[in-house]
Chain A
Amino acid sequence: MELNGSEILVQFLKDEGVEYVFGYPGGAVLHIYDALFQQDDVRHVLVRHEQGATHAADGYARASGKPGVVLVTSGPGATNAVTGIATAYLDSIPLVVITGQVATPFIGSDAFQEVDSVGITRPCVKHNFLVKNREDLAATLKKAFYVATSGRPGPVVVDVPKDVTDPGIRIPYEYPQEVSLRSYNPVTKGHPGQIKRAIKLLRAAQQPMIYTGGGVVLSEASDELIALTHKLGFPITNTLMGLGAYPATDKQFVGMLGMHGTYEANMAMHECDVLLAIGARFDDRVTGKIAEFCPNAKIVHVDIDPASISKNVKVDIPIVGDVKHVLTELIRELGSRDGNVDSAALEKWWRQINEWKSHNCLQYDRDSDVIKPQFVIEKLYEITGGEAYVTSDVGQHQMWAAQFYKFDKPRRWINSGGLGTMGFGLPAALGVKLAFPDSDVACVTGEASIQMCIQELSTAMQYMLPVKVINLNNGYMGMVRQWQEFFYESRYSHSYVDALPDFVKLAESYGHIGIRIEKPADVEGALKEAFGHKDRLVFLDFLTDKTENVYPMIAAGKGHHEMHMTPECKAPQSSERELA
């Protein structure tokens, strides 16, 4: 088959099985857009800002497990995409971002809309390529998809100069079936000796703890994780990125850990003697003060990226490998039904954990006259039967969604954990809805975050993507306000979002339905109404308590046992707890 560069690009995407490309046109990609126009296999979704394209592709990838694909023009198109690329990078999400570039003879001449896209994105991609010859285009794209989706996934940028896509020059095209890179060979199988050592440690544990993260989701290893955890009978906690990989309603689940994790999860981390860490990267929001992290524990760490192991916390038994493979091996090695663990010790440990649990650290005032944000999430959970895909922005609302929506399945909780990118929620929800048109998709957001990519309401209209926006409108950058209350003597410097738009009218002006909810009694009705509109985007503007804080909270640089608790909760405050 003889094709020009633009046709090769589009044909390749088709052959690679790409359903959607999220993009925005411009000079350097006009040839490609012309090729897109002449076919209907690869569907293009026109966003309203390139940041939106990357987040939408990212949401699609997180929900479906397939790589998200983005197409933007050179210069400002590429720079606008950078935030979304970095967002995907920090959460290890597979994206292939195709950026247009000025024609090769002009590279380096400060040509119109020229930026060094490969240089700008280098620190926030898994890898990137500049395609200098059209003969290399298909093979390079193949490498890009391979690198993005294998091993520890991540975004890959392919920078394509305009002359490479010249419609006038045709060359033979064949879909490259094979790809091999001599310098890139991700490990999958764990070392059998290390697995045996881990088993020995797990069997001897008196106060064990399982801590898992996004790697379990990325590895599609939920079933294996559930099987292993049930076999061991250990308590399990998930990071913000790992939620849903283990069912939140299971009785061995003790909630999220870390800065806004539950009392029981953090206390169990602090007191455990053996920690089994799986596909998690010991982020500082999770570990708190490193010197006080799991002070008594021997640590086993399963991760596909050797660089994640012993990066922040030195571990005792590293196992480099794919979670799915390693968990399968662990289950096999454990053999007998109960895995031969110390059940007497475990029983005692569970009594302690249940005591911690009994403090019910996530309590809030249920009799309040103002809408409590936690209440909205609880109702959202009820009304969607726990089955919705929930995306979020960044702030307090994100933490409440994580704490109060009990995710029982992986890939349902979609948020920016590593970069913490405000503006992520809405475009991500659109990507999710494209991947799962028949499922409920909710975007939990705040009045500050939503304004960072609000323009995508227009995209939602154009493609009929009836997601539900749950705006927890507290009139503040709540998360910032909370820190200022705690650590800056309530000096609320520039955290008040003044001059807010009327979100109801705003939604309506985009052609959607907007509803403002001011009383707790109206929360349930509004949610039911919104989810009743199967084919309309509904923007729910909940006016919530302006002063509510996220609890528990571990201040940056403190240990797991030094939590601030809500006044509603009777658990000992950090100052009262013995600071061992």
Chain B
Amino acid sequence: MRHILSLLMENESGALSRVAGLFSARGYNIESLTVAPTEDPTLSRMTLVTRGSEQIIEQIIKQLNKLVDVVKLIDLTEGEHIERELMLIKIRTADENQRAEIGRLAEPNGGTLVDESGDTVTVELIGSGDQLDAFINSVERSSIIETVRTGASGISRGTRSLRI
């Protein structure tokens, strides 16, 4: 099962490598990992997407909690939550028609054209991982020049929250 873990960590050098090191040392899989500071400069927040059996996820959570730099952790997938990922995708377009076509594909998915230069367009898309995958699949493979994705970040719905 896919799980989205959200962590508050001490904003210290080394904290990220402890998490990454834990995953490689114990052979856990990381689908994506994002980390950035929060409104509290002493804390950074990480979102980690991983897959595994219930037993493995339980171990992952316990092992992460054991890291001295991890202040708090929740499994977002245990409750209602919002998952968002940002993607920038640069696509080669032969003509005006194709550019319009890309625009038509992007818009219903909330995408915007953020750059049009020469024979390329760049689309910015925000959504769940699946939505971004779906968009990539809808574009002709050979016309994709590059994609860059932030990896998922997420937040619980309603009153459930991750704070100290």
Within 8 A of B (CB), among A540-566: none
> Is B63 an interface residue when CB atoms closer than 8 A count as contact?
yes
| A307 in contact with B62 (CB, 8 Å) | yes
> Is A493 an interface residue when CB atoms closer than 8 A count as contact?
no
Identify the stretch in B13-21, B92-100, B114-122, B142-150 within 8 Å (CB) of chain A at 4 or more residues: B13-21
| B66 in contact with A183 (CB, 8 Å) | no
| B164 in contact with A310 (CB, 8 Å) | no
Within 8 A of B (CB), among A177-191: 181-184
Q: Mark A144-175, 1 if CB is under 8 A from B, else 0.
A: 00010000000000000000000000000000
Tell me the bound Cα distance from A389 to B137 in angstroms.
68
Give the size category of B's interface with A: 20 to 34
> Is A567 an interface residue when CB atoms closer than 8 A count as contact?
no
| A130 in contact with B14 (CB, 8 Å) | yes
Shortest Cβ gap from A194 to chain B (Å):
17
Shortest Cβ gap from A126 to chain B (Å):
8
Q: Mark B9-41, 1 if CB is under 8 A from A, else 0.
A: 110001001100100010000000000000000
Tell me the bound Cα distance from A184 to B58 in angstroms.
19
Indicate which residue in A122, A182, A305 contacts B18 across the interface (CB closer than 8 Å).
Answer: A122
Interface of B, helix, strand, loop or mixed by DSSP = helix
> Is A528 an interface residue when CB atoms closer than 8 A count as contact?
no
Shortest Cβ gap from A154 to chain B (Å):
10
Q: Mark B47-72, 1 if CB is under 8 A from A, else 0.
A: 00000000100110011011011111
> Is A118 an interface residue when CB atoms closer than 8 A count as contact?
yes
| A311 in contact with B59 (CB, 8 Å) | yes
> Is A306 an interface residue when CB atoms closer than 8 A count as contact?
yes
Give B72's nearest chain A residue, CB to CB.
Answer: A183
Query: Contacts A123-B25, A314-B55; is A118 near B14 (CB within 8 Å)?
Result: yes
Shortest Cβ gap from B65 to chain A (Å):
7
Shortest Cβ gap from A22 to chain B (Å):
24
Indicate which residue in A122, A306, A310, A314 contacts B17 across the interface (CB closer than 8 Å).
Answer: A122
Give A311's nearest chain B residue, CB to CB.
Answer: B59
| B69 in contact with A183 (CB, 8 Å) | yes
| B164 in contact with A182 (CB, 8 Å) | yes
Q: Please give, as numbers and ranges, the residues of chain A lying within 8 Å of B164 by CB-CB distance.
A: 182
Query: Contacts A184-B68, A306-B62, A307-B62; is A123 near B10 (CB within 8 Å)?
Result: no
| A310 in contact with B71 (CB, 8 Å) | no
Q: Mark A360-380, 1 if CB is under 8 A from B, else 0.
A: 000000000000000000000
Q: Mark A111-147, 1 if CB is under 8 A from B, else 0.
A: 0000000110011001100100000000000000001
Q: Please give, as numbers and ranges, the residues of chain A lying within 8 Å of B25 by CB-CB distance.
A: 123
Within 8 A of B (CB), among A11-39: none
Tell me the bound Cα distance from A445 to B21 in angstroms.
35
Please report A residues at the B interface, Cβ cutoff 8 Å. 118-119, 122-123, 126-127, 130, 147, 181-184, 305-307, 310-311, 314
Which 5 A/B pairs are nearest by Cβ-Cβ distance? A307-B62, A183-B71, A127-B68, A306-B62, A123-B25
CB-defined A-B contacts under 8 Å, sample of 20? A122-B14, A122-B17, A123-B21, A123-B25, A127-B68, A130-B14, A181-B68, A182-B164, A183-B71, A183-B72, A184-B68, A306-B62, A306-B65, A306-B66, A307-B59, A307-B62, A307-B65, A307-B66, A310-B55, A311-B59
